[in-house]
């Protein structure tokens, strides 16, 4: 078995994704390799999406997701869109079904190049998110940052989209808050036994929002698809918006947008772009990599 496999550096609204092709192999991308790749400025990423052979009938692949600290992630919407684009380019197909540790995801590439991912159903029960304390109503939990009588952030909506999220409601542009300072404190708060993704959300109309996210295991990120889903669902759940919203991701390049649709069947569908940057080969055990410099490699998708 060769030490190296093909990989592509991609992004979803600026969220840096490494798509690693592990099909035909029995090994895995190791935490050590993930940490090494994250430490290299050329390959620094938010998530690794490792494509493995399917484990169950009716699926096209099993997707193993790793954070930049080497930990496992249950879900990554932006990364899933990147996988779809890579496989659609390779196969000419438009629809895919993936298995992850969070469950089954269905995805489709549209004629305009945008990609929709069925992210599944939201989970609101306190012990399933999970939280370490019982809350009858998780749409507003007791948690705050700052002085007791004048908190900077408070009363987030908590839920799971296959991974835990806390959405704090703010009344101005999320970029004006020091999320780099508050993010680590909130991600690691004892109320979140499995840590949590922390999102600041500003509702701008009944059908639009602006968000910014500190991502569990990755830190301050340019974009987070599952966090956008959590913000859209939480906004509708609390009566702030309708069930279909356009979310401007404030930290993404050119403030890109995602459409989040919490459908009547309770499933959450996220639609947005994915972009290929460059490709090469990588050792999944060590993270040692080499860029593809062959003719046309910089201009064609893998």
Q: How many CB atoms lie within 10 A of CB 266?
A: 10
Concerning whether 68 is annotated as a catalytic residue, the answer is no
- Beta strands, E only, the chain: 5-12, 15-21, 47-52, 61-67, 95-100, 103-109, 115-118, 144-145, 153-154, 157-160, 164-169, 197-205, 208-215, 219-220, 244-249, 257-262, 268-272, 275-282, 289-291
CA distance 26 to 122: 32
Sequence-separated (6 or more) residues with CB below 8 Å from residue 152: 144, 145, 146, 177, 182
Tell me which residue of 64, 12, 83, 9 sits closest to 40, measured CA to CA.
9
98 close to 89: Cβ distance less than 8 angstroms: no
CA distance 282 to 13: 24
Active-site residue identified among 68, 82, 224, 229: 224
Concerning whether 224 is annotated as a catalytic residue, the answer is yes
CA distance 234 to 81: 22
Residue count of the chain, please give it.
302
Q: How many CB atoms lie within 10 A of CB 252?
A: 23
Which residue is listed with tokens 């690693």? Answer: 20
Q: What does residue 91 show for φ and ψ, rounded to 5 degrees?
A: -105, -20
Which residue is listed with tokens 């995602």? Answer: 258
Rg (CA), the chain: 19
Active site amino acids: 76, 224
């Amino acid at each position: 078995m060769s030490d190296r496999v093909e990989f592509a550096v991609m992004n979803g609204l600026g969220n840096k994704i490494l798509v690693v092709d592990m099909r035909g192999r029995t090994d895995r991308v190791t935490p050590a390799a993930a940490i090494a790749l994250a430490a290299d400025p050329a390959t620094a990423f938010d998530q690794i999406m490792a494509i493995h052979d399917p484990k169950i009938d009716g699926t096209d692949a099993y997707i193993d997701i790793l954070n930049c600290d080497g930990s496992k992630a249950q879900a990554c919407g932006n990364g899933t869109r990147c996988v779809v684009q890579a496989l659609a380019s390779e196969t000419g197909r438009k629809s895919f079904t993936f298995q992850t540790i969070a469950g089954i995801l269905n995805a489709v590439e549209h004629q305009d190049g945008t990609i929709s991912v069925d992210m599944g159903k939201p989970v609101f029960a306190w012990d399933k998110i999970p939280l370490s304390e019982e809350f009858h109503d998780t749409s507003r939990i007791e948690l705050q940052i700052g002085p007791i009588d004048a908190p900077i952030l408070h009363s987030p909506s908590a839920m799971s989209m296959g991974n835990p999220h806390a959405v704090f409601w703010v009344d101005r542009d999320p970029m004006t808050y020091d999320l780099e300072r508050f993010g680590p404190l909130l991600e690691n708060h004892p109320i979140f036994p499995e840590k949590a993704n922390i999102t600041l959300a500003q509702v701008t109309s009944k059908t639009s929002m602006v968000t910014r996210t500190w991502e569990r295991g990755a830190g301050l990120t340019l974009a987070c698809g599952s966090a956008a889903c959590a913000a859209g669902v939480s906004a509708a759940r609390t009566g702030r918006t309708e069930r279909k919203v356009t979310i401007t991701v404030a930290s993404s390049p050119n403030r890109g947008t995602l459409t989040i649709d919490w459908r009547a069947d309770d499933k959450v569908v996220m639609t947005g772009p994915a972009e290929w940057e460059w490709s090469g080969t990588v050792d999944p055990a060590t993270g040692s990599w080499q860029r593809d410099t062959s003719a046309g490699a910089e201009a064609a998708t893998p």
